[in-house]
Structures are given as structure tokens and as C-alpha cells.
Amino acid sequence: MFSGSMVALITPFQNGKVDYRTLEELIDFHLESGTDGIVPTGTTGECPTLSHQEHKKVIEFVVKTVNGAIPVIAGTGSNSTAEAIDLTEHARKAGADASLQVTPYYNKPTQEGFYQHFKMIAREVNLPVVLYNIPGRCAAGMTAETIIRLSRIENIVAVKEATGSLDIASDIAGNCDLTILSGDDSLTLPLASVGGKGVISVVANIVPADVKAMTDLILQGDLVSARKWHHKLFTLSKSLLSMSTNPIPIKAAMEILDMAPEELRLPMTPLSDAKKILLKKILKNYGLL
């Protein structure tokens, strides 16, 4: 159920408020483009600067707009286990198909702390859990051993792998049956070579059909044909993840493409003018301008 091309959806803002009109247009765009799943209120959706009320309302809006057409995996993670449970229970009641649970950040749990955190969420809320392992943004990450241990818990069904380590992904793939999803667009195909089944994608915000074409081939087992899409997407993907902190570059690209406002919330700041010139060149070379 949770495989293929899933978009890490931005949260558009207009004059400091969530822009629901644009959000609806973006959801419709993904439904028309064949996207396999929508992931709101994650890193790309700027969840750290959404109020709890906004966070919950965005999830409700996305679920209602998607209307069962494709799975909605709601970002409901937190560095507080009780808060993550509250957000996840709300997502369940709203009709989300699963939750995306980022590793707790700042308080830097031990591996046992990670295990108990996710175990408690899975036990308290009857909703499938997609683990999100991204040590680069969280001060600490889970080992493969912890993820394998968590795979034995009912409701924990997948992991979004954003460690950049094929060794960790290989260890997970060889020792449990969790679905492995890439958390880095540039590594979707390399991860597929060791057992990955798709991506929760930033670049799919602007080229969903292309990401879908690649992941369809991956799921068919045709990694040779998928490689052509990997090479086409690589520079664009790498630029959007390295030019500045996500979601700064993708929001800049979406404004350039007249898809959504660039507006961010502090402490996120807009892409510099010099980098926007480079970004326009990259978008033009890809064929988007």
C-alpha cells in the first residue's frame, strides 16, 4: 500500500496564513499526475512552524480533498511521545491512512528511547506507522538493529530512510519485511538496488509524473530502464536538496514555475537571488522553463 512515488507536500502560505486554495490546487495536480501517495505536514510541509491547530487542520483538509483516491500519510511525529500520540490519534480520526513518525529531535534519545517512543505510539493509536530516520536533522538516528526490532511491532509497516547509508538500508532489507522508502530523491534508485520500494519525494512537488515513471519501473524490477529517469532527475533532485535547507529551494522553484508562493515562516528564509539565478538555469535545463 505504501510504495511508489509519494510526495512530501509543501504547505503553501499567503500573508502568514496557510493558503488552502493553493493547497487544493496542488493536491489536484498530484491526483491528475498519478502520484501514489501524499505526505502532508512533514519536513517539506514545514511542520515545526505550524501551530497544533494548523497542523491538524492541514491534515483534515488533505484527507478530505484526496477523498480516498490515494493514501495520505500524515506527518505526526514529535520529540514528545505524548504529543506525537495526540497528533497521530487526530490523524486517525481525520481519516489518514498512515502516520509518518520522525525520530525525536533535540532531546537525543538513546536507542532504547527510540524503541520505546515508537512502540508506545504504535500501541496507543491503531494506524500504520512509517518510521522516519533522518539523523542529519534530528541530532541522533536509529541504528539498523533498532529499526529491525521495531519491525516486529504490529502497525509499524515501513521506514523512510534518510541516513544516506546503503549499508543501513541493506541491513534492514535483509533482516525484516518493512517497506523501505527513500528519503533522498537522489538515492531512490540506489536504495532500490538493495530493496527499496519507492520514495517520499521533494522533487515530486514539481515533476510528479517523472518520479512516478521511475518508481513504476523500480516496482516492476526494471532497474536498467529506471536508471534513465534517475540520470534525468539527478541534477534537479540534488540541487533541491543541497542548494539550501529543505523546503527553501523547492518553494523557490514552485514560485518560479507559478505553482505556489515562495513564502516561508521564520526561521526559514528565502533563497538568495544568486541561487535563484542558478535554480532557474537548472529548471530550464530540465525543460520546465
What is the pLDDT, as a whole number, of residue 233?
A: 98
Separation of alpha carbons 165 and 177, rounded Å: 18
Position 92 in a domain: yes
Instruction: Check if 105 is active-site.
Output: no
Position 262 in a domain: no
Position 54 in a domain: yes
With b for 16 or more beta-carbon neighbours within 10 A and e for fewer, the 199-226 pattern comes to: bbbbbbbbbbebbbbbbbbbbeeeeeeb
- Catalytic-labelled residue, pool 56, 119, 160, 197: 160
Domain that holds residue 138: 4-208
Position 117 in a domain: yes
Return the percentage of the chain with pLDDT > 70, whole number.
100
The mean pLDDT value for 155-168 works out to: 96
41: phi > 0 → left, psi -120 to 50 → alpha, else beta; which? left
Which cell numbers in the block locate residue 127? 494506524
Position 259 in a domain: no
pLDDT in tens, 132-152: 999 988 888 999 999 999 999
What is the pLDDT, as a whole number, of residue 1?
A: 78
pTM for this entry: 0.97
The mean pLDDT value for 58-80 works out to: 98
Structural domain count of the chain = 1
Position 58 in a domain: yes
Q: Residue 127: CB partners within 8 Å, gap ≥ 6?
A: 88, 91, 92, 96, 98, 99, 155
At 272, is the pLDDT very low, low, confident or very high (cuts 50, 70, 90)? very high
What is the pLDDT, as a whole number, of residue 139?
A: 86
Separation of alpha carbons 244 and 187, rounded Å: 18
- Catalytic-labelled residue, pool 56, 115, 132, 276: 132
pLDDT in tens, 74-122: 999 999 999 999 999 999 999 999 999 999 999 999 999 999 999 999 9
pLDDT in tens, 176-226: 999 999 999 999 999 999 999 999 999 999 999 999 999 999 999 999 999
Which cell numbers in the block locate residue 98? 498512515
What is the pLDDT, as a whole number, of residue 212?
A: 98
Pairing of strands 17-18, 13-14: antiparallel
Position 35 in a domain: yes
Instruction: Check if 281 is active-site.
Output: no
CATH code for the domain of 83? 3.20.20.70
Q: Please check the confidence at residue 66 and state whether its pLDDT lies above 90.
A: yes
Position 130 in a domain: yes
pLDDT in tens, 220-259: 999 999 999 999 999 999 999 999 999 999 999 999 999 9
